[in-house]
Amino acid sequence: MIELTFARIADVLGGHLILDPRDTAETTVSGTVDTDSRHIGRGDIFVAKPGAHTDGHDFVAAAAAAGAAVAIVERQVAAPISHIVVPDAVGALADLARFVVARVRAHGELRIAGITGSNGKTTTKNLLARILSDEGETVAPRASFNNEVGAPLTMLRVSDSTRFLVSEFGASAPGEIARLAGLVEPDLGVVLMVGMAHAGGFGGIESTFHEKSQLIRSVRPGGVAVLNADDPRVVAMAEIADERNQRVRWFGRSARADVRATEVETSAAGTRFLLTADGASMPVSLRVLGEHHVMNALAAITAALEFGVALEDCVARLETVELAERWRMQPLGSDRVRIINDAYNASPDSMAAALRTLAQITAPGERTVAVLGAMSELGEFAGEEHDRIALLAVRLRIQRIVVVGTEARRLYLAAIGEGSWDGEAVFCESAEDAYVYLLDELREGDRVLVKSSNSAGLRHLGDRLGESFA
């Protein structure tokens, strides 16, 4: 973070500064800001966020012992540390992030990209950050820091020497993207797709469209909207861009895309395609597993080109990326039994893409095994969407469908109803039951996909299987 005095931070937050005897109002701080005392080091700022199960105020003393310079709290504490009392710690995070980014932007060359979409945000964020990092200091979220806490924490890592900020914007409730993107007003906004992820929380696909479109409404006037030319709902966001005097750049596999992929070939080693952008064409070998990541790569390239990166450099840097993120199409195991751990998150679109990838990369004589858990946050659409995934798995001729957990049982029943009734579909009550079953069931030549929403916990099952068959 940039260097600020305690008094300045208190003023920005509208908070009450309570000084430790060792400090004054003009004492400065420039360390990392975090809500987890375990990540606090000397000179950092600890934010005591109340939670559903734990209260950050209980860890202020631990943060002080770890060397925190100051704490942001909602009530006065007895710990030996200067602290700033504010009405809302999470709101204070947002206020501080807004101030820090605006100040750096006013005095430097900071360029800001915002990314949203029902799927692919984290992969695209990582690919874009990889491209930009060779151009200058780049700040991007760790893991999926894209919510009301994670996004501001990422923004607060910006310093006077930062050239690029890549922000990922997720949403679990209406209005969240507008609030978060509004903190920084990106120079460029990327919308990947509008799908059924979180549809239960938004009330349907049209409400999801409205939420995702808020990123384009938050991009500064005169900025750039990077839009998926192959998704009709994303295409409709061009009208919003026009209203805000933004330039639109299209990516996709259709002829209308400014940055386009053709001749796509998928294998267990990754995906090859011919990239065409601004009249130039060149081959790309993407090592990140899954054909669906081609669109994420195109989005990252389009954004990077707008920030002045040469096309050849975009491709060279992307081709060094082997894994977009842990638990996202992560190859584990061995050539004997290959495990693909994609169980960090799941939506109907990402589940379908992962199943298609499994079918595409499995050679003749090898067996496809899909270990599937529940897709969360679908609300009233959960039943039909699990049915649809079961139908797809059967039509792709997945040879063994292992469904894990009570919340996913409908997927198992639907698979049986679609024809997987002769032992092809198996139901396990728990991840432990599935692990025991798979240790005995898997054999040489199996290609195994482990896929579920984070809440189902199958990512740890994938890790265990990867270790067992390494």
121 annotated as belonging to a binding site for a ligand:
yes
Can you give the pLDDT at residue 202?
Answer: 58
* Each residue's pLDDT expressed in tens, for the chain with a length of 470 residues: 999 999 999 999 999 999 999 999 999 999 999 999 999 999 999 999 998 888 999 999 999 999 999 999 999 999 999 999 999 999 999 999 999 999 999 988 999 999 999 899 999 999 999 999 999 999 999 877 788 999 999 999 999 999 999 999 987 778 999 999 999 999 999 999 998 655 555 567 888 899 999 999 999 999 999 999 999 999 999 999 999 999 999 999 999 999 999 999 999 899 999 999 988 999 999 999 999 999 999 999 999 999 999 999 999 999 999 988 888 899 999 999 999 999 988 899 999 999 999 999 999 999 999 999 999 988 888 999 999 999 999 999 999 999 999 999 999 999 998 876 677 899 999 999 999 999 999 999 999 999 999 889 899 999 999 999 99
Q: Which of 68, 86, 104 is the last residue of a domain?
A: 86
Alpha-carbon distance of 286 to 186, in angstroms, equals 28
Alpha-carbon distance of 377 to 352, in angstroms, equals 17
Burial bucket for residue 63 (CB in 10 Å: 0-12, 13-18, 19+): buried
Q: What is the DSSP string of 34-82?
A: ES-GGG--TT-EEE--B-SS-BGGGGHHHHHHTT-SEEEESS---SSSE
**Which two tokens mark 267?**
């294998």
The pTM score is 0.92
Q: Are residues 66 and 129 in the same domain?
A: no
Q: Are residues 336 and 404 in the same domain?
A: yes
Q: Is residue 324 part of a domain?
A: no
Q: Is residue 166 part of a domain?
A: yes
406 annotated as belonging to a binding site for a ligand:
no
| Sequence-distant (≥ 6) Cβ neighbours of residue 133 within 8 angstroms | none
Q: Which of 54, 86, 118 is the last residue of a domain?
A: 86
123 annotated as belonging to a binding site for a ligand:
yes
Q: Is residue 262 part of a domain?
A: yes
Q: What is the DSSP string of 418-465?
A: TT-TTTTEEEESSHHHHHHHHHHH--TTEEEEEE--GGGTHHHHHHHH
Range of the domain at 123: 92-318
Q: Are residues 245 and 152 in the same domain?
A: yes
Can you give the pLDDT at residue 6?
Answer: 98
Alpha-carbon distance of 183 to 97, in angstroms, equals 7
Q: Domain of 67: which CATH number?
A: 3.40.1390.10
Q: Is residue 323 part of a domain?
A: no
Q: Are residues 152 and 297 in the same domain?
A: yes
Map 344-384 to HEC letters. CCCCHHHHHHHHHHHHHHCCCCCEEEEEECCCCCCHHHHHH
State the residue for tokens 């009392």.
85
State the residue for tokens 């937050």.
13
CA within 13 Å, CB half, 100: 30
419 annotated as belonging to a binding site for a ligand:
no
Pseudo-torsion of CA 297, 302, 304, 310, nearest 10°?
Answer: 100
Q: Which of 283, 318, 353 is the last residue of a domain?
A: 318
| Sequence-distant (≥ 6) Cβ neighbours of residue 342 within 8 angstroms | 327, 328, 329, 330, 350, 354, 449, 450, 451, 462
- CA angle, residues 270, 273, 277, in degrees to nearest 5: 135
86 in helix, strand or coil? coil
Q: Are residues 308 and 342 in the same domain?
A: no
Q: Are residues 26 and 113 in the same domain?
A: no
Residue (of 63, 93, 90, 91) closest to 79 by Cα position: 63
Q: Is residue 325 part of a domain?
A: no
**Which two tokens mark 363?**
């050679």
State the residue for tokens 């030996």.
80
Number of domains in the chain: 3
State the residue for tokens 């704490």.
71
Alpha-carbon distance of 348 to 156, in angstroms, equals 33
Q: Are residues 199 and 339 in the same domain?
A: no
Can you give the pLDDT at residue 63?
Answer: 97
- Greatest pairwise CA separation for the chain in angstroms: 75
117 annotated as belonging to a binding site for a ligand:
yes
The answer to whether residues 200 and 176 touch, using CB atoms and an 8 Å cutoff, is: no
Helices 431-441 and 458-468 sit at what angle, rounded to 10 degrees?
30
Q: Is residue 420 part of a domain?
A: yes
Q: Are residues 304 and 411 in the same domain?
A: no
Give Cα 89 to chain centroid, integer Å.
Answer: 24
**Which two tokens mark 167?**
């922000």
Tell which phi-psi region holds residue 101, choosing left (phi > 0), alpha (psi between -120 and 50) or beta.
Answer: alpha
113 in helix, strand or coil? strand
Alpha-carbon distance of 355 to 450, in angstroms, equals 10
Q: Domain of 295: which CATH number?
A: 3.40.1190.10
**Which two tokens mark 184?**
């920084």
189 in helix, strand or coil? strand
Q: Are residues 202 and 261 in the same domain?
A: yes
Q: Domain of 458: which CATH number?
A: 3.90.190.20
Q: Are residues 125 and 60 in the same domain?
A: no
Q: Is residue 364 part of a domain?
A: yes
122 annotated as belonging to a binding site for a ligand:
yes
Q: Are residues 172 and 229 in the same domain?
A: yes
Q: Is residue 314 part of a domain?
A: yes
Q: What's phi and psi for 181, nearest 5 deg? A: -65, -30
Q: Are residues 259 and 352 in the same domain?
A: no
Cα separation values, 275 from 281, 282, 342, Å:
5, 5, 26
Q: What DSSP designation does 398 have?
A: -
Residues of 331-346 as b/e, b for ≥16 C-beta within 10 angstroms?
A: bbbeeebbbbbbbbbb
Can you give the pLDDT at residue 377?
Answer: 83
118 annotated as belonging to a binding site for a ligand:
yes
